Amino acid sequence: MTGIRAGILGASGYIGGELLRVLLGHPRVAAVVPVSRRLAGRRVDGVHPNLRGTTELVFRSMDDVSPCDVLFLATPHTQTMDMVPGLRSVAPCLIDLSADFRLRDPVVYERYYGTVHTNPSLLADFVPGLPELYREQLEEADLISVPGCMATAAILALYPLSADGLLDGAVWVDGRIGSSGAGSAATSTNLHAERSGAMRVFAPAGHRHEAEVRQATGLEITMSATGMPEVRGAQVVCRGRLSTPLREPELRRIHREHYADEPFVRIVAQRRGLYRLPEPKVMHGSNFCDVGFALGDDRDVVLVAALDNLVKGAAGNAVQCLNIRMGWPERLGLAFPGLHP
């Protein structure tokens, strides 16, 4: 088979595992090179048991990575920024899934991540890995920075109205996230006995992703976040105020038109049924982001979005960016629709 060679740094984590799953099933990827310092030499299906029977790959150490056509960085926040310069010789295209190159302003980065950015000159070189807003730039991008999972949901929820200047004043984004969002390291925070059944308001205000949403939409954003007792899934409920009164059919039309050509955004705002607004439960494994809306009294508007935090919120979105960058059909390797029930 002819195809590209794709490397994954941090391939033993949850995002790394999803990258492996998607890339191993991608028709234009000939070879996947999984890198894990900790597990070099061990089989990837040891930590990603869903891949049993589909691959015999073993993790490699960093020293052992030969040149690739693309390199995905599923490496930790605050550590990735130092790695990027040295990786440019490994692959002509880097797709970073950490937070390190998401914010253009190093001062904002420092405020939200509590550490000085060590490579601020590179920030402007990264294109945000959000096809719905930056598709044209992605076609040429060599450095791509995939946004955070709840940020992606919130940006896609708010974009149709914000782009048309239809939102007025501050927006409250309430984010909900499953436990896989905290990664695969064992900490007491994520112990099953503590997290199961919990609704943990871990960020009552000022969640880090608000900076990304503000940057992408230009809106005044306040963001809270709650850890929900699920493994996968992110949902945002955003409350804003319309700058001009709109009725439901107009809202529907605006949303439909904005996302008419998007392969992975669905407008979900039904009048009946159990799934009237976006619901992460039926999106596990899929690359969709569902976006819905509802009107309140006066000019209040509520925008809801949902996605799988590891797919459209990370690995799937990254592969969608790769497809765009390579000029391939955008849905390649990303056809799985999710499960119900």
Active site residues: 149
Q: Rank residues 123 and 251 by Cβ distance to a copy of itself and give the closer one.
A: 251
Q: Rank residues 2 and 271 by Cβ distance to a copy of itself and give the closer one.
A: 271
Q: DSSP characters for 213-240?
A: HHHHH---EEEEEEE-S-SS-EEEEEEE
CB of 54 to a copy of itself, least distance (A): 5
Q: Rank residues 192 and 247 by Cβ distance to a copy of itself and give the closer one.
A: 192
Q: Supply 146's token pair.
A: 């995939």
Q: DSSP characters for 290-304?
A: EEEEEE-STTEEEEE
Q: Rank residues 174 and 212 by Cβ distance to a copy of itself and give the closer one.
A: 174
Amino acid present at 169: G
Q: Rank residues 91 and 238 by Cβ distance to a copy of itself and give the closer one.
A: 238
Examine residue 341 and say whether the peptide bond preceding it is cis (omega within 30 degrees of 0): yes
CB of 276 to a copy of itself, least distance (A): 8
CB of 281 to a copy of itself, least distance (A): 4
Residues 6 or more apart from 54 whose CB is under 8 A from it?
A: 24, 45
Quote the CA–CA distance of 121 and 119 in Å, as a whole number: 6
The four Cα atoms 195, 196, 201, 207 give a dihedral, to 10 degrees, of 60
The four Cα atoms 113, 114, 118, 124 give a dihedral, to 10 degrees, of 40
Residues 6 or more apart from 121 whose CB is under 8 A from it?
A: none
Chain center to CA of 326: 20
Q: Rank residues 48 and 102 by Cβ distance to a copy of itself and give the closer one.
A: 48
CB of 335 to a copy of itself, least distance (A): 6
Chain center to CA of 244: 31
Distance in Å from the first CA to the final CA of the chain: 36
CB of 170 to a copy of itself, least distance (A): 8
Q: Supply 253's token pair.
A: 């039309």
CB of 211 to a copy of itself, least distance (A): 12
